[in-house]
Structure 1
Amino acid sequence: MATPLQMGNDMTDQTPFAIREHDGVRIGPIRRPTNFSKAAVGSIHDDARARELGFRGGTVAGNIHFEQYPPLLIDAFGDDWLRTGGLSLYFLNATTDGEPVQAFVGPPEARAEGGWRAKVWMETPDGVRVNEGTASVGPPDEMSALRLRLKDVRPAQDLRILRSARVGDQVRDIPARQDSEQTDPRLELITEPLAIYSDPELMGGKVASPAAAIDCLRAVETAIFTTNGPFVGMFGAIELQFLAGPVFVDRDYLAEGRVLALSESPKTEAAWFESTLYSSTGGAPVARMIMLSRLLKASSPLWT
């Protein structure tokens, strides 16, 4: 089923958007996502700094990979995905600027509490898995890929960059907003620019693309965490859940955040947090996010 919300973008790939199906799996076209933050010197998106830290080059941010999924998810779940849909992704292998990737959505299965769930994943043409997880529509999915992973998180024993953070820390009433001046230039480069992202007549305002909605929900990040010393961070996982969506551009929201878990690995300190978005005029929550942020130990003088 082709979605009327789709429009092509020849700047990122010459292949027109089309969905193939094989054994019930929806397969999107191969795309080449842009590293929007490659000019951020010293970040994980900066080629030189990323190579110093052992990566092949500056990485494409995980939220950019979210942009490839909506046409497949709207095809699988219908337009309701924009209102009560979710996408829960764990990032496995970082990609670099323009590296080809392809999104897949498995057959939807009914959930006992109502709604539907499907497995999702992204791969390079060589079969390297970039991310994997679940997508859903209907009531918030308590069995999503990231909620299941959260149950197995082991508490950290030695945090240095995040030593001031505590599980349960909360912030409220944080202003959050994405403006057209921020989002419109990116529409020329994202892999799947839907018409609803630029035409306010279709849904009562310009809809924020997944990456823009995630940026809006990240408004709590600075307020909820006090970090120590310089470091380089990167996304480890993101779940975006629409509760009464969509999230709109050029609209004022308030966000509240909560630290869910703090953990560590031999190479990273890790913080899991949740952010919930409300209209600035009140009412029911509009969207919720779970994010795993990884802070690279090799980038911090506290570890080197």
Structure 2
Amino acid sequence: MSEAFIAVEQDGVLAGPVRRPVNFSRDAVGSIHDDETARALGFQGGTVAGNIHFEQFPPLMLARFGEGWRTRGGLSLHFLNATTDGDPVQAFVGPAEPAAPGVLRAAAWMTTPEGVRVSEGTCWAGGEDGDSALRRRLAQQRPAADLRILKTASVGDSVNDVPSRLDGPTSLRRLEGVTESLPEYRDASLFGGLVAAPAVAIDALRVVEAPLFRASGFVGLFGAIELEFLDGPIFLDRDYLADGRILALGESPKTEVAWYESTLREASDGRPVARLIMMSRLLKASSVIWT
């Protein structure tokens, strides 16, 4: 369990404490989180997943926006530099400014103690933000000219009604290493059920990946994640349905790039609960198709 959360504000910027996130997937052999695989691909070691870094931001966003962030708010981050198990990082949230009627937006970013940017983006509360950090990046994505790993995928491909349920015992074991553990993650009486921590909540929306993308034989890593609550929070041990759609496909000299959107709905009444925008980088050097 991490030490008590203490935020410091200076010149309008809220800074959380320095934390050392754990690489929870370090035993996933053959993934970017596995030391041997990551080093073979040019990384210092197995990387800490970007969704793990999300867990340092909720206390800062609650301090900036209040309780409304839990139900109608979001966090949109582009990942710039990978970290490894136990590397120290610090989260920041800037001053809030009007983004739309009833919506406040602030810059959000994470750095190492040396000032290297791990991620940067925006966070908001009060409603939907159509001009989030990832939506701006998505609008600038150029179409791919040569896709090999993703050759069977097409922009606009979609799936619907994919069952999603976060197992309580599994998710609670995950909390042992969460950098910022909020009371609602363990006390069901606060919100009428156990609230999923951000990294776990993101997994609920990722269930659309398998039916959307039929690619295999590569190593990938998160390039950007946006988690938005439409009528949150997301709970453990509750039945949901997810709809997914491929938003864009791109490439760089070293990667193929896939953007998709996922919407999570209550299975009982179809009510939209949350939305995810994910950008994944598929490393060309990890695929025999490219090597």
| 1:214 and 2:202 correspond | yes
**Residue of structure 2 equivalent to 1:87:** 75
Question: Which structure 2 residues correspond to residues 72-221 of structure 1 after superposition, within 5 A?
Answer: 72-221=60-209
Query: Which one-letter code corresponds to 2:276 in the other structure?
Result: M
1:253 is matched with which residue: 235, 240, 246?
A: 240
TM-score w.r.t. length of structure 2: 0.99
SS in 1 for 2:67: coil
The superposition leaves residues 155-181 of structure 1 with CA deviations (integer Å, 9 ceiling, x where unpaired) of 000000000000000000000111112
The superposition leaves residues 219-255 of structure 1 with CA deviations (integer Å, 9 ceiling, x where unpaired) of 100011111x410010000000000000001100000
CA distance in 1, matches of 2:20, 2:236: 25
The superposition leaves residues 66-97 of structure 1 with CA deviations (integer Å, 9 ceiling, x where unpaired) of 00000000010001100001000000000000
CA distance in 2, matches of 1:102, 1:74: 16
The superposition leaves residues 243-299 of structure 1 with CA deviations (integer Å, 9 ceiling, x where unpaired) of 000000110000000000000000000100000000011232000000001100000
**Residue of structure 1 equivalent to 2:220:** 233
| 1:274 and 2:283 correspond | no
SS in 1 for 2:100: coil
Query: Which one-letter code corresponds to 1:268 in the other structure?
Result: T
CA distance in 1, matches of 2:258, 2:101: 29
CA distance in 2, matches of 1:27, 1:183: 27
SS in 2 for 1:133: strand
CA distance in 2, matches of 1:106, 1:279: 33
Uncovered stretches (5+) of structure 1, i.e. residues with no partner: 1-8
CA distance in 1, matches of 2:73, 2:42: 36
CA distance in 1, matches of 2:114, 2:177: 24
**Residue of structure 2 equivalent to 1:38:** 26
CA distance in 2, matches of 1:214, 1:51: 26
CA distance in 2, matches of 1:292, 1:16: 32
1:139 CA drift (Å):
1.7
CA distance in 2, matches of 1:177, 1:295: 27
CA distance in 1, matches of 2:55, 2:100: 28
CA distance in 1, matches of 2:101, 2:46: 41
| 1:293 and 2:291 correspond | no
**Residue of structure 2 equivalent to 1:4:** none
1:17 CA drift (Å):
1.2
CA distance in 1, matches of 2:13, 2:262: 31
1:16 CA drift (Å):
2.6
Question: Which structure 2 residues correspond to residues 23-34 of structure 1 after superposition, within 5 A?
Answer: 23-34=11-22
**Aligned Cα RMSD in Å?**
0.8
1:127 CA drift (Å):
0.4
Contact residue 103 and residue 128 of structure 2 kept, 8 A: no
CA distance in 2, matches of 1:48, 1:169: 34
TM-score w.r.t. length of structure 1: 0.95
Number of matched residues? 291
1:188 CA drift (Å):
1.1
CA distance in 1, matches of 2:34, 2:115: 25
CA distance in 2, matches of 1:267, 1:298: 7
SS in 1 for 2:155: coil
Q: Which runs of 4+ in 1 moved over 3 A?
A: none
Contact residue 48 and residue 85 of structure 2 kept, 8 A: yes
